[in-house]
Amino acid sequence: MSNSRNSRDLGPLIRGVEHIAIATTEPQRLARWYIQHLNFEALLDTGNTVYIKSANAVVLEFVKAENVPPKPQIRDAGIRHIAFSVDDLEKAHAKLNVAGVEFESEPVVLPGMRLFFFRDLEGNYLHLVERETPLGT
């Protein structure tokens, strides 16, 4: 038997994404921003690491950064944004706008979806999207 056949016999290797880590100079401050602006809830704070969870159980981990690199641009190599699904893009946009969030552009309309980009208080790109048909369905 080949190795590839053996791995198929064991079932899927990845069950799902357990969490996404974001390095920050102030884990508690950035976690509070996500809780206040994006309705995440607190899970665990160890002092140097903070875990928070979204309504659909996406977990973000904020870890204490050892240095601060230059701010990446949207098309630089590496992970560039986290996309969050919403049911009502206008409502989400209005709520964030009132809270002082700065958007990268006006909402964009594409076939089957509407979206906009913005940044958290440390400059990480975030993306809210409303789709006619959710991805993966």
75 and 62 in a common domain: no
Residue at a domain's end among 51, 68, 85 = 68
Q: Which domain holds residue 33?
A: 1-68
- Pair 98, 44 in one domain: no
Tell me how far apart the alpha carbons of residues 133 and 92 are, in angstroms, rounded to a whole number: 18
Segment holding 64, helix H or strand E: strand 59-64
Residues 31 and 86 in one domain: no
pLDDT one digit per residue (tens) for the chain, 137 residues: 445 555 556 678 888 889 999 999 999 999 999 999 999 999 999 999 999 999 999 999 999 999 888 877 888 877 889 999 999 999 999 999 999 998 998 889 999 999 999 999 988 999 999 999 988 87
- Quick one: DSSP state of residue 120? -
pTM: 0.83
Q: Which residues of 53-82 are buried (b: 16+ CB within 10 A; e: fewer)?
A: beeeebbbbbeeeeeeeeeeeeeeeeeeeb
